[in-house]
Amino acid sequence: MRLVSIPIVFLLGGVLFAESTFTNLTSPEEIRTFHDVTNRIRCICIPSIAIKSCSFNNCTVSAKLKVFIENRIRSGESADTIVDKMVKGFGPDAVKDPVIAKFIETGNTGMAQSVVYGFGPDILAKPDSTWIDVSIAMTGALGILLIILYLKRRMAPNSISTTDANEDAAFHKYLSEIEEKQK
């Protein structure tokens, strides 16, 4: 059983650390820039995660922002420039981008204004390790508890058999004393 579980852990462990987000970019350098930018910007719908991890099905606004980021990368902007402009604003020229034009056309002017004038520093993805730390601490505490319970259970039969042997010896001694008194 152990021999089977070790390869499974190694094979499935990669799934936990896999990074995937869809992009239409083809150049490896552009893809690296895209991953860098989307890893540093928060998702609009679920602010606790980076936009890179946001699902297209659940958050169409973030999906459209990813297309906008692709357009900026194609126009030659660097990752740092795009992230800086997400905070401070892309300016009035951003309205010419088809994604922002579509925001305005569909009535999502708040999103268009945020792109033009900037989202502010709150758009930056800051990893929150609180839940990770709590999970590790709880797992460690559970592990220690299980070890203690295992050791107690392992030691318990030894102490019971020792106690049984002592009780047997005491009982036989008591019986022999009674037999001597009866003689």
* Separation of alpha carbons 18 and 13, rounded Å: 9
Both tokens of residue 82?
């795009």
pLDDT in tens, 13-23: 444 444 556 78
pLDDT in tens, 116-165: 999 999 898 876 667 778 888 999 999 999 999 999 888 865 555 556 67
Greater confidence, 130 or 57? 130
The pLDDT score that the predictor gives to residue 142 is: 95
Residues 6+ apart with CB under 8 A from 71: 97, 98, 99
* Separation of alpha carbons 12 and 8, rounded Å: 6
The pLDDT score that the predictor gives to residue 57 is: 64
The pLDDT score that the predictor gives to residue 96 is: 94
Is 108 within 8 Å of 124 (Cβ atoms)?
Answer: no
Q: How far is CA 122 from the centre of its chain?
A: 20
Is 108 within 8 Å of 28 (Cβ atoms)?
Answer: no
pLDDT in tens, 68-124: 999 999 999 999 999 999 999 999 999 999 999 999 999 999 999 999 999 999 898
* Separation of alpha carbons 160 and 156, rounded Å: 6
3-state SS class at 6: helix
List, as one string, the DSSP characters of 43-108.
-SS-TTSBGGG--TTT-HHHHHHHHHHHHHHHTT--HHHHHHHHHH---GGGGGSHHHHHHHHTT-
* Separation of alpha carbons 51 and 132, rounded Å: 19
- Record the pTM: 0.60
